[in-house]
Structure 1
Amino acid sequence: MCDSVDRKLQVFKNPSNRLTISMFRKLANYSICDISDGMVKYGEKDGGFIPNLIQQSTTDTVIGKAYTVLYAPVNDPRPEIKEGYIDTVPKDSMLIIGLPKEYQMVNYPFVKINNALYGGLMSTRAQYLDCKGSIILGRIRDPQEHKDLKYPVWSYGIGSTSPSILKVVGINVPLEVKITDVEGDRIITINPEDIIMGDPSGIVKVNPDMVEKLLDYVPKRVDADGKVAEDIKNGRPAKEAQKFWRSRIQTIYQ
């Protein structure tokens, strides 16, 4: 199945990349919350989180490199890419489908297109090709089919209509994603081959420059939080337990 962290990660076999297959297997042992906490520690204040995506099919943590697809309305001046994107999804990738930013909103339902961008047949093909999961920055349909396949899917919402008013205008192109936070409205860019992790909490884009630091820090943080949980179960105040164990992460694991 696509969610096994022990499968061979062919997509990461780029010899020019210092990040090894073993590193990605190790990252996949942790939740995206653990990874985000680590990235916050090392200066990425949003923890790499891509907001508003809801898991539509149950999975454990999965990780892969982004394979991006851009849809646009049929009257868009860009030529349609007629070759089926779903038949070229690389093994061990994370398929990410989006819309141009003029068809996005920062508030629910986050897109102006009610047609579903993705359905059960696409998951069937993606799973056969050993894709790790599909992230749809819009609506999907056939939710039960994805669940029956046990294939990982995230989306903004659910729809019923096929993407008949749309066409594919880009494959492996940057996807701009509108979001809003304390800094106001802004754009997150997902580039082809970005490192993407997903689990029931949502989706995170992992900073590759932080991976080695994350693999050093995150296991210590997880172990410390386990000790916090035990203390809380035994009656210790949560704030006190967190301060005690987290302040000792760098000293008790030397």
Structure 2
Amino acid sequence: MKALIGGALALCLLPAACESVDAEQVGAVLGSIYGPQSETDGQGALSSLEIEAGLRQALEIGTERVADQIGVTDGYWQDPQIRIPLPGRLGEVQSQLQGIGLSGPLDDLQLRMNRAAEDAVPAGKQIVIDVVRSITIQDALGILNGGDTAATDFLRGRTETSLRTTFTPYVEDALASSGAYQMLDSVTASQPLLAVYAGDFKSDLTTHAVNFGLNGLFNYLAVEEQKIREDPVARTTELLRKVFGSR
């Protein structure tokens, strides 16, 4: 037995041998060596390794789907559920000016802010996936037996601080490069109602975009999680069907 285990581990130290090995395959190999794990906690034939691998796979797939959906042009802008409005006084003035057909500059500012969020999603995706890959067996058991958004809640708790720290300079850069800050300067200079607040608007705009950007990301992660938990069609691999079909 020790020789078999040692051989399996030695094989995985060879880069060429591990290039195509994923979590599902590792679970299968270790399962064949050790047999079903003891931490099944009522999951029947499912081993802890399968649950862990299944949760990781589900969350990676869900994160990739969400990034593909919202981390593209119009991902936020054309989606009423997550479109980012202008904050506070800017939004109020925008509404007032829309009534008389003069909101064009503020409408453009809102568009650029949504474009910044769309551009920031790929950076956020990698942070989430890194946390997904650190999930432990104990984490996985709790998530599997939790509520419909237990995995999303877990990820938000583990990633939000890092996401906010990473998103903020990214959104600042995206807003600057997209011309949003320059547009804001132009708008406030031409609107007496806004000029008095000009010093606060850039900071508010960035914080607002980050908050709404993260809310949109986690909103759709929760949607993907619920699909995988509830809809067999969304379980696109054998491992997902086995883990979530057993619940």
Range into which the TM-score falls when normalised by the shorter chain: under 0.3
Structure (1/2) with the larger helix percentage:
2
Q: Rg bigger for which structure?
A: 2
**Scaled by the length of structure 2, what TM-score is found?**
0.23
Structure (1/2) with the larger strand percentage:
1
